[in-house]
Chain A
Amino acid sequence: MDEDYLFAATQTHHTMMGRAIVKETTLEEFIKNPNAGNEPELLEIKAGKDIKKERTENVTLWTEHEIGNHHWGLSIDLNSCIGCGACVVACTAENNVSVVGKDEVRRSREMHWMRIDRYYSSDADPKEHQSGDNALMEIPSDMPKVVYQPVMCQHCNHAPCETVCPVIATSHSSEGLNQMTYNRCVGTRYCANNCPYKVRRFNWFQYSDNKDFDFNTNNDLGKMVLNPDVVVRSRGVMEKCSMCVQRIQEGKLNAKKEGRQVKEGEVNTACAQTCPTQAITFGDYNRKDSAINTMWKPEERSYHLLGELNVQPNVFYQTKVRNVEEVAEVHTKGAEKHS
């Protein structure tokens, strides 16, 4: 096999560059301190003569959006995620995400509304409170430690994408969702540039009913795969994770017809429903008893991705805890056996 073949990969950079993106700790550390690896950044705030320390997330210049009866969110446990990608498949099927083909993927134009980021450790990764050499940090170790992180729209309450759209095609719902109005979008792509999570996807071409993209939408049988509850987007508009708003809407309507409130677990997103390890949990922050509310423990493992930006996402992550002692033990035992 001497032939060169260009891979079509959605991720082309493999290390975390010493950034606290996937937060990690060891079991030993975690038992001592449940907040290990997830220590909050505190800001000193002067109020008159008093100086108090405040979590960065609680400091803001923005006015809060009004939240109505529901406040939807997702929790993602990085300890449970095995990086299988079932959520990505489920999301693609549920939301009629366009299949664009290898060539477009090579141009970094996959349309996936969610992705599994995979990071390798690097030998040059900085130790605590140190900075590393950028060029060396780009090179993964020969035998890297791997972490996975599902990333979808974080549904920021202070969303950078919402302020920059000149035509208000992306706005905040009263249920905490960052919503995209395809019909209004003219396609300036400013929102995508300003999204720190880079989860927005642009319809570079007309992907449906186009011979140049000969996938499922070009024939009647293929079209039967499409979800009738979700619109098929046309060229020139931005799209992104809606937190399965069609399912939320259905759940709310069913509850309304029956004259009751939406029950916990009645609505679920495609990704959360599909996850084999239940790493993803969907829920309503407005329900005191909801799973997502009991899971949100910033004093333990919960954190917001790029929390220092204070965009106040409705999606949060939970620190990965590695049992390194046991692994080390196995390794040393193995080494003894071999020698």
Chain B
Amino acid sequence: MSGNHEAVVRDPLILGKKTYHQMTEDICRPIEGKANKYWWISFIVAFVAMIWGMTCLAYTIGTGIGSWGANKTVGWAWDITNFVWWIGIGHAGTLISAILLLFRQRWRMSINRSAEAMTIFAVICAGLFPLFHTGRPWLDYWMLPLANQFGSLWVNFNSPLLWDVFAISTYFSVSLVFWYLGLLPDLATVRDRCVDPTKRFIYGIISFGWKGTARDWHRFEEVSLVLAGLSTPLVLSVHTIVSFDFATSIVPGWHTTIFPPYFVAGAIFSGFAMVLTLMIIARKVLGLQEYITLQHIELMNKIIILTGSIVGVAYTTEFFIAWYSGNGYEGYAFQNRAFGPYWWAYWSMMTCNVITPQLFWFKKIRTSIMATFIISIFVNIGMWFERFVIIVTSLHRDYLPSSWVMYSPTFIEVGIFVGTIGLFFVLFLTFSRLFPVIALAELKSILKKTGNQYKKKGIL
């Protein structure tokens, strides 16, 4: 993409003796070959989980939200916790593809395709919760500012939930277009290699007649840059607006101005953790160790230290402000988080999100694939608990102690959450068999600058 050269002393981003042809072979292999045993096992497990989740969801739609554990005081619980968790996970994709593109970070090229796919699938999972957590989901379209025949009825532009509708639908559509646009040259590569005429026909259609002419490439580069520019503010805006659901309310523990930056940092934190979890498995299963290298993992771990520390500072700041503000309700809300009946959720969050990522300061740990994998799982769990802590522990004891209650989930809502994890993996596994999981055309552009054997040649 960029023409400038890279210093030979920098570690190569593509290992092994790669040629352009070898790269095409490596990356198209999962699409052209047969799925292996591990793929099928994971797919079946994910599919069963998805079906189970759909059954629970159907039951909820049939009987009512009462099949969940929420009550008069805790109106939102697992539903919105899961929603925010998934939306957060969906943040790494756009950050990698847009912001790192603008900063010309070449290492993003091996991971951006999967990260963007992950973003889209995570947003799909996230979107299910606000859609189906309403009492009457068949009327959800009332939240759209549609021309209607109901008289003067219109949406409430004061409501953060409405902002959510706009923020998430914009994010989803821009991410989808960006991801698909990037796929075009690679889909054309797959098309050109197809032996089966039906496959060739289908890949021909979905690659939009890409010919690889100079004009195609020129437009492709231009549109990529424009979309990167459009996506960049979205990385910040989506979770900012999600945080407004809480920040603009009057619930102690929610009404906090620190929420937007704190949520964005948390989202990137959890997004990268999920990218790591997936990539560590995918590089092994798909045999892509020479493209997604230890250097990539280490760089992502560094982002995790940064965002994890921001999140840690945010937790501390919240506590400090709760005390410093002198607001008794807020002071209580925070004491209750740490030492109240849900103390275990709070300390799980603190351990997973604040303590574990700090281990990455040790080079040995951040360059160990096993350690990275375990810590990334910890971060995923911790970030789920963060949302649970914010939502449930704030609501369950707010202003009037007469309404204070406890909340516990039912197996139906747990089932729906498990189902979304299943859906996510079904989508991702399907993606890995149908589309090139690495941005092939883009990565080829840096082979001669940062490929292992070319680097060696430069030195010799």
Contact = CB atoms under 8 A, between A and B. Distances in A.
Given A19-B401, A197-B400, A198-B398, A190 B161 contact: yes
B137 to A, nearest CB: 8
A26 interface: no
A78 to B, nearest CB: 14
A203 B72 contact: no
Given A187-B136, A201-B72, A204-B64, A11 B402 contact: yes
A83 B396 CA distance: 25
A21 B400 CA distance: 7
Contacts of A185: 135-136
A84 interface: no
A3 to B, nearest CB: 23
Nearest to A116: B402
A338 interface: no
A237 interface: yes
A166 to B, nearest CB: 4
B134 A188 contact: yes
A235 B137 CA distance: 11
B249 A164 contact: yes
A160 interface: yes
Interface stretch (A67-75, A103-111, A243-251, A252-260): A103-111
Nearest to B64: A205
A194 B251 contact: yes
A110 B64 contact: no
A19, A104, A201, A309 interface centre (most CB from chain B within 10 Å): A19
Nearest to A110: B72
A309 B251 CA distance: 11
Interface string A1-44: 00000000001111111010100000000000000000000000
Interface string A189-219: 1101110111011111110000000000000
Interface string A225-241: 00000000001111000
Interface string B43-73: 0000000000000000000011110011111
Given A135-B339, A167-B143, A309 B72 contact: no
Given A108-B72, A185-B135, A166 B165 contact: yes
Interface string B73-116: 10110000000000000000000000000000000000000000
Interface string B245-256: 100111100000
Contacts of A110: 72
B226 interface: no
Interface stretch (B152-160, B176-184, B301-309, B417-425): B152-160
B159 A190 contact: yes
Interface stretch (B328-336, B361-369, B379-387): B328-336
A134 B335 contact: yes
B332 A134 contact: yes
A203 B64 contact: yes
A68 B369 CA distance: 69
B395 interface: yes
B159 to A, nearest CB: 4
Interface residues on B, range: 35 or more
Interface in B189-214: none
B159 A236 contact: no
Nearest to A201: B72
A184 interface: yes
A90 interface: no
Nearest to A135: B339
A185 B161 CA distance: 14
A117 B158 contact: no
Contact of B400 (A117, A165, A237): A117
Contacts of A189: 65, 70, 75-76, 133, 135
A45 interface: no
A145 to B, nearest CB: 16
Contact of A164 (B130, B161, B336, B397): B161
Given A187-B135, A235-B64, A309-B250, A168 B70 contact: no
A93 interface: no
B400 A151 contact: yes
B80 to A, nearest CB: 9
A16 B70 CA distance: 24
A23 B375 CA distance: 51
Contacts of B63: 205
B405 interface: yes
B135 A203 contact: yes
A205 B66 contact: yes
A115, A135, A184, A192 interface centre (most CB from chain B within 10 Å): A192
A118 interface: yes
B65 A13 contact: no
A303 interface: no
Contacts of A295: none
Contact of B72 (A165, A202, A236): A202
A306 interface: yes
B142 interface: yes
A277 interface: no
A316 interface: no
Contacts of B76: 189-190, 193
Closest 5 CB pairs of A and B: A187-B135, A236-B135, A204-B66, A189-B75, A117-B402
Given A166-B159, A167-B142, 13 more contacts: A13-B397, A164-B249, A166-B161, A187-B136, A188-B135, A194-B251, A196-B250, A197-B403, A198-B399, A201-B72, A202-B72, A235-B135, A305-B400
23 contacts: A13-B397, A15-B401, A19-B399, A104-B66, A108-B73, A110-B72, A131-B328, A134-B335, A151-B400, A164-B158, A166-B155, A166-B159, A167-B143, A167-B155, A186-B140, A188-B133, A190-B75, A190-B76, A196-B250, A196-B399, A196-B400, A204-B70, A309-B250
Interface of A: 11-17, 19, 21, 104, 107-110, 115, 117-119, 131, 134-135, 149, 151, 160, 163-168, 184-190, 192-194, 196-198, 200-206, 235-238, 305-306, 309, 311
Interface of B: 63-66, 69-73, 75-76, 130, 133-137, 139-140, 142-143, 153-156, 158-162, 165, 245, 248-251, 328, 332, 335-336, 339, 395, 397-406
